[in-house]
Amino acid sequence: MLKYMFFILCSILFCNSIIPAVEAAELTGLQSAHKMKIMINIPSRLLTLFSDGKAVRMYAVGIGRFDAPTPVGEYQILSKEINPTWIKPGEEVVKIESGPDNPLGYRWMQIEGNYGIHGTNQPNSIGGYVSSGCIRMREADVEELYDLVPIGTSVSILYKRLVIEKNPDKVVTFYIYPDEYHSQPLDIQAVNKKLAEFGVDRFVSDEKISDKLLAANGEATFVGKSFSVMVNEQKLNVAGVVQNGMVYLPVIPIASQLKLAVTWNKESESLNTAYGTVPGYVKKDILYMNANDVDRLFHLELDWHDSDTLFLNRKISVDTALPTPPVTSRPVSKNDVVMKHANESTHTTPMMPDFGKMDQVKN
């Protein structure tokens, strides 16, 4: 149990480190139902509070057991109560007044019927699949949330095992959580498809994704930052990526835009044009180069207009009158791929492990 609590603490510390700090005084002026929103992700067992679309608080929660799942859907806070009385479902004669023996703790926020967000007299159950469908919070957390959200605040409950997000530095990170309700299977193809939406799918190996799917422990996997590449004022259809301090540029799209021949030597893992030879890198059958070598290979200059777009411009000099024959580069085949595990970004940080089931616990 101490190990579980340690991982919960690590999870909250990590999550809060990427959420902008918002003073209580600032939140006071935002407490209207249309500006505040609660999102609960069942697989991650995390509740996030949004203000004006920005995450401002994140809390670990306990959610419904497999045999009494927390319902997915769109709800809102219908009522709020301080020092609630617990009434056993189906047996209204069984009641527990507010106090240390009350399973609801000292705060209750109803979202539908007998379902609600509330405190608990069993704080060690937080982070587990433990309730009869309600959302449990630590007492200090639920009291803070209670003061921040008004009646009418929307509550969105999701079942999302794969979570992909960008931190303030726009580095893409993904998490894969367990499928406790056995309702959302995931495979390598599905994960790659989602990572492709962020432009970083080629920078996580299928082997690494397979390992993450098997573990399904919610650990963070940092991938990298994608950015747009412009050549001759044309946006390339393949993004560049910053990973482990290196800026990777897609080789063939650049060469095609310049109408410049480029060849790949798989033995020496090098790229060659009429201008010179530089190291190359294969990422899932796509050739990349280090942006620092773009002058030597393509006689181009780097121009960062902003952190999201890199412009590649021709160098102006007296010795640029080289022929520009059509692209004749040989396509890269799967047999040419040499995956270098040392180049993969696989730094992980413990997030939210499977805390297991807590028996004999009621809402």
Percent composition of the chain: helix, strand, coil (DSSP 3-state, to 5): 20, 35, 45
Asked if 143 and 119 count as a contact pair (C-beta separation under 8 A), the reply is yes
To the query of whether residue 182 is one of the catalytic residues in this protein, the response is no
* DSSP state letters, 174-187: EEE---TTS-----
Tokens of 199: 């432009």
The Cα 51–Cα 35 span in angstroms is 6
The Cα 341–Cα 263 span in angstroms is 24
Q: Which residues pair with 164 in a beta bridge?
A: 174
Cβ partners under 8 Å of residue 72, min gap 6: 42, 157, 158, 159
Cβ partners under 8 Å of residue 114, min gap 6: 89, 133, 134, 363
Tokens of 299: 């006689």
Query: What's the first-to-final CA gap in the chain, in angstroms?
Result: 20
* DSSP state letters, 145-165: HHHH--TT-EEEEE--SEEEE
- Torsion-angle region of 302 (φ positive above 0: left; ψ -120 to 50: alpha; else: beta): beta
Q: Which of 15, 34, 134, 299 is catalytic?
A: 134
270-to-103, 267, 289, 341 alpha-carbon distances in Å? 65, 8, 9, 18
* Residue located via tokens 């396509």: 331
Q: Fill in the DSSP letter of residue 132.
A: S
Asked if 174 and 223 count as a contact pair (C-beta separation under 8 A), the reply is yes
Q: Which of 118, 182, 341, 347 is catalytic?
A: 118
Residue 289's φ and ψ, nearest 5 degrees, are -135, 160
To the query of whether residue 134 is one of the catalytic residues in this protein, the response is yes
The Cα 363–Cα 357 span in angstroms is 14
Catalytic residues, by residue number, are 118, 134
